[in-house]
Chains A and B, each alone.
Chain A
Amino acid sequence: MDFSSTKKGPFVSLVTGLPGGGKTFLGILLVAALLVPLSNLLVPESSFFHVPTYMVSLLGKYLSFALLALSVDLIWGYCGILSLGHGAFFALGGYAMGMYLMRQIGDRGVYGNPDLPDFMVFLNWTELPWYWTGFDMFPVAMTMVILVPGILAFIFGWFAFRARVTGVYLSIITQAMTYALMLAFFRNDMGFGGNNGLTDFKEILGFDLQSDGTRLGLFVCSVIALAFGYLISSFITQSKLGRVLIAIRDAESRTRFSGYRVEYYKLFVFVVSAVLAGIAGALYVPQVGIINPSEFSPAQSIEVVIWVAVGGRGTLWGAVLGAMLVNWGKSYFTGALPEAWLYMLGGLFVFTTLFLPKGIVGTSAIWIEKIKNRQTGPASTIPAYVKEE
């Protein structure tokens, strides 16, 4: 019997240790990171193979959504924590980036005030609130992108998981969390631009946000961030800790009586997931040019869950695929048939639940195994979690 996959130690190699599908996935990301910029810069605009700049930013936005979907899959697919409020961590990461971009505007705002963003001048504020301190420095802002979602997730998880709130009750309080944050960020006196949010960004690290080069740079950063998020998630889920997470998902009390402190495991993966979501938000904001409280709306977070369900929860690249496909569909159909999109999204979720309960990736893996078994007899090669119960 071969137990090499279980025996393999840590850091054998982050990449060579990946399952076959994982290497393919990273390969596709690498090819995209090379081809998209090349075709945008070198291929003439008249050519079919030219990728226009708006498309580069659109793809970059999808990649940030893919990272968000990955973060939700990590807790939902592997640990059974259904967060219906993960958009909150995404939005907080986005706001941290947005605050940096606001400070970069300097005196080029409508009111020309070098120290205060336009909306603060409009509110007759005379000085920056204390919590904006340091956001003019990129490293500080990036630290906040990680710390703010991470700390919120830690505090939230500390109370929720220690009190053993699980299942639908946990989902409901995650909804309440993001809803409360939305209401708070809508208020002008919170100091985050209220209803309008943060926008009219000019530069990032001195590069013009409207230029093709900057947009390509942001796209490549998004690819790198997604690859990084994938490697982290893959390392976690392939480790013994990943098997403990699945054990918690399938039989929480058994795991507890086996000597694992379930609440700490949940807290760990919840914080990692929130940090990934925050990074995704920070990449989203410069590419779409705005962040406002609607990102906190409960419907946004539920949509993320639909992406993961469609792609296949419990399979990391399934979450990525789901995010890409659904968002591509959203971009296309909100242009072609704007009234129909919400019905299609709802219909898609119903269809997935009824006919593809394991999502596209999970269901196709089951089909592939059925075909293989017909040829060679049973031999389980697919991950256990995509099997039919």
Chain B
Amino acid sequence: MTSRPASEKTPEFASILYLDGVSVSFDGFKALNSLSLVIEPGEMRAIIGPNGAGKTTMMDVITGKTRPDEGEVFFKGNIDLTKHDEAYIANLGIGRKFQKPTVFESQTVFNNLELSLKGDKGIMTTLFAALGDADVARIMEVLEIIRLSERANWLAGNLSHGQKQWLEIGMLLMQDPDLLLVDEPVAGMTDAETEQTSDLLRKISENHSVVVVEHDMEFIRALDTKVTVLHEGSVLAEGSLDVVQNNQRVIDVYLGR
């Protein structure tokens, strides 16, 4: 898919993402309660949990939007993410897809991808930026991956809900991140679109680390990967989907006992 060198698949650090004892509270409500989580390089991890389990807050902490009250967050072994802001972390190589598909609606699909191109995001560079042939080729490649080649000149706002989700995933790919955080990629999708999205994510996970937050159990099953269950801001269970689904504590939480 992408032309990333094979050496990147076997990096020198043990974890791409390392959270230890992370706590965040808002007005006394503990959104994250001593959350610990380790994602290995190249791993795809699904994260599930009932509403309010802290899934989105966890993403906010990783991407620099929210500062944790306590705990450690490290990227690639030794980069302390709690010290940086969103833009810096994005340029470090962490891409984030929002729960509600968020694209630049009044610009074309092509320009959406162009704006997400990896590179210097400084003001003067951007003011005098010209698009090279390699950049166009890369955009075309991503358009192909997200099945939107035919829509390159469309305004993003005119895409269907599912296509917007793919476009946003495409925008993440343009950033060429080492880690993708994908929040509910199949919410509101048709069955066919859901299936295509799981194909897409499996393909991406071949050479990226991916964290997927999702509610849709069929989709998680299709991803066929390790699952972490969050509850009240900390990890409740971890393992394959079958193991997790048969865990008594998980059943209790989901059935509200």
Q: Which B residues between 22 and 58 are near A, CB-CB below 8 angstroms?
A: none
Shortest distance from the beta carbon of A269 to any chain B beta carbon, whole Å: 9
Instruction: Return the contact of B102 from the options A7, A236, A251 (Cβ within 8 A).
Output: A251
Shortest distance from the beta carbon of A254 to any chain B beta carbon, whole Å: 4
Q: Which of B65, B91, B114, B130 has most chain A Cβ within 10 Å?
A: B130
Is the CB–CB distance between B96 and A257 below 8 Å? yes
Any A CB within 8 A of the CB of B238: no
Chain A interface size, under 10 / 10 to 19 / 20 to 34 / 35 or more? 35 or more
Q: Which A residues between 226 and 242 are near B, CB-CB below 8 angstroms?
A: 236, 239-241
Any A CB within 8 A of the CB of B1: no
Is the CB–CB distance between B131 and A6 below 8 Å? yes
A-B pairs with beta carbons under 8 Å apart, 25 shown: A6-B114, A10-B128, A10-B129, A10-B130, A11-B128, A240-B115, A241-B126, A241-B127, A244-B115, A244-B126, A247-B115, A250-B107, A253-B86, A255-B104, A256-B87, A258-B121, A259-B91, A261-B85, A261-B87, A264-B123, A384-B107, A384-B108, A384-B157, A387-B155, A389-B105
Cβ proximity bits A1-43 to B, threshold 8 Å, 1 near / 0 not: 1010011111100000000000000000000000000000000
User: B98 contacts which chain A residues (CB < 8 A)?
Assistant: 253-254, 257
Chain B interface size, under 10 / 10 to 19 / 20 to 34 / 35 or more? 35 or more
Q: Which B residues between 92 and 116 are near A, CB-CB below 8 angstroms?
A: 95-96, 98, 102-108, 110-111, 114-116
Shortest distance from the beta carbon of A13 to any chain B beta carbon, whole Å: 14
Given the interface pairs A251-B103, A258-B115, A261-B87, the reply to whether A241 lies near B157 with Cβ below 8 Å is no
Instruction: Return the contact of B114 from the options A9, A240, A268 (Cβ within 8 A).
Output: A240
Is the CB–CB distance between B90 and A254 below 8 Å? no
User: B106 contacts which chain A residues (CB < 8 A)?
Assistant: 246, 250, 384-385, 387
User: A370 contacts which chain B residues (CB < 8 A)?
Assistant: none
Q: Which A residues between 317 and 360 are near B, CB-CB below 8 angstroms?
A: none
Is the CB–CB distance between A258 and B90 below 8 Å? yes
Shortest distance from the beta carbon of B148 to any chain A beta carbon, whole Å: 12
Sample of 19 further A-B pairs with CB below 8 A, known A243-B111, A244-B115: A3-B136, A6-B131, A7-B131, A9-B128, A10-B127, A11-B128, A239-B128, A240-B114, A240-B115, A241-B123, A246-B107, A250-B104, A250-B106, A251-B102, A256-B87, A258-B116, A259-B175, A260-B121, A384-B157
Any B CB within 8 A of the CB of A66: no
Shortest distance from the beta carbon of B6 to any chain A beta carbon, whole Å: 26
User: A239 contacts which chain B residues (CB < 8 A)?
Assistant: 126-129
Is the CB–CB distance between B130 and A7 below 8 Å? yes
User: A3 contacts which chain B residues (CB < 8 A)?
Assistant: 110, 131, 136
Is the CB–CB distance between A261 and B152 below 8 Å? no
Is the CB–CB distance between A389 and B153 below 8 Å? no
Complex: how many Å from CA A103 to CA B43? 73
Any B CB within 8 A of the CB of A380: yes
Any A CB within 8 A of the CB of B171: yes
Q: Which of B103, B106, B126 has most chain A Cβ within 10 Å?
A: B106
Complex: how many Å from CA A262 to CA B122? 10
Shortest distance from the beta carbon of A372 to any chain B beta carbon, whole Å: 16
Question: Which A-chain residue is minimally distant from B140 (CB atoms)?
Answer: A1
Any B CB within 8 A of the CB of A158: no
User: B136 contacts which chain A residues (CB < 8 A)?
Assistant: 3, 7
Is the CB–CB distance between B155 and A380 below 8 Å? yes
Any A CB within 8 A of the CB of B194: no
Instruction: Return the contact of A6 from the options B87, B95, B104, B110 (Cβ within 8 A).
Output: B110
User: A236 contacts which chain B residues (CB < 8 A)?
Assistant: 127
Q: Which of A253, A256, A257, A389 has most chain B Cβ within 10 Å?
A: A257
